[in-house]
Copies of this chain bind each other. A is one copy, B any other.
Amino acid sequence: MQSKFSCPRGTTDITPFDISRWDNIERISKQILTCYNYKEIRTPLFEETELFARSMGQSSDVVCKQMLNLAAQQKDDQDGVTLSGLSLRPENTASVVRSYIQNGFDRKEPISKLFYIGPMFRGERPQKGRLRQFNQIGVEVLGPNTAQPYLDAEIISLSVHLLKSLGLEKFQLKINTLGTPEDKENFSQMLRQALKPYRKELSEYSQQRFERNVFRVLDSKDAADQEIVKKVHIGLSYLSTESQHYYAQVKEALMNLDVDFVEDQHLVRGLDYYTHTVFEICGSSLGSQDALGAGGRYNNLVRQLGGGDIDAMGFALGVERILLALGDKKVPLSNPLAAYIVPMSEEALNQGFVLMNVLRQENISCDLSYKYSAKLKNVLSNANKMDVHTVILLGEEEMKKHCVTLKDMQQKKEETISIKGNDFSKIINILKERYN
**A interface, CB within 8 angstroms of B:** 1-8, 11-17, 19, 22-23, 31, 34-37, 39-48, 50-51, 54, 65-66, 68-73, 76, 79-81, 83, 86, 88, 98-99, 101-103, 105, 108, 110-114, 119, 121, 123-125, 133, 145-146, 148, 150-151, 153-154, 157, 161, 253, 256-257, 303-307, 334-335, 337, 349-350, 353-354, 356-357, 360-361, 363-368, 370-371, 382
Contacts and interface: CB of A to CB of B under 8 A. Distances in A.
Nearest to A334: B34
A2 B306 contact: yes
Contacts of A306: 1-5
B70 A16 contact: no
A385 to B, nearest CB: 8
A349 B8 contact: no
Contacts of A335: 34
A61 to B, nearest CB: 9
Top 4 A-B pairs ranked by shortest CB distance? A16-B39, A4-B306, A11-B44, A37-B367
B79 A7 contact: no
Contacts of A2: 54, 303-306
Given A7-B44, A123-B81, A365 B35 contact: yes
Nearest to A46: B8
Contact of A363 (B35, B68, B99): B35
Contacts of A16: 39-41, 112, 114
Contacts of A4: 101-102, 305-307
A63 to B, nearest CB: 13
Contacts of A111: 370
Contact of A123 (B73, B357, B365): B73
Best-surrounded residue of A8, A39, A46, A382 (most CB of chain B within 10 A): A8
A71 B73 contact: no
Given A2-B303, A42-B14, A69 B68 contact: no
Nearest to A23: B40
Contacts of A83: 8, 68, 123
Contact of A360 (B12, B36, B86, B151): B36
A368 B141 CA distance: 14
Given A124-B79, A353-B253, A11 B46 contact: yes
A157 B353 CA distance: 12
A35 to B, nearest CB: 4
A15 B99 contact: yes
A370 B151 contact: yes
A51 B103 contact: no
Nearest to A67: B73
A41 B14 contact: yes
Given A70-B71, A357-B157, A363-B35, A43 B103 contact: no
A256 B73 contact: no
Contacts of A103: 13, 15
Contacts of A1: 303, 306
Given A4-B101, A44-B11, A65 B71 contact: no
Contact of A13 (B12, B42, B54): B42
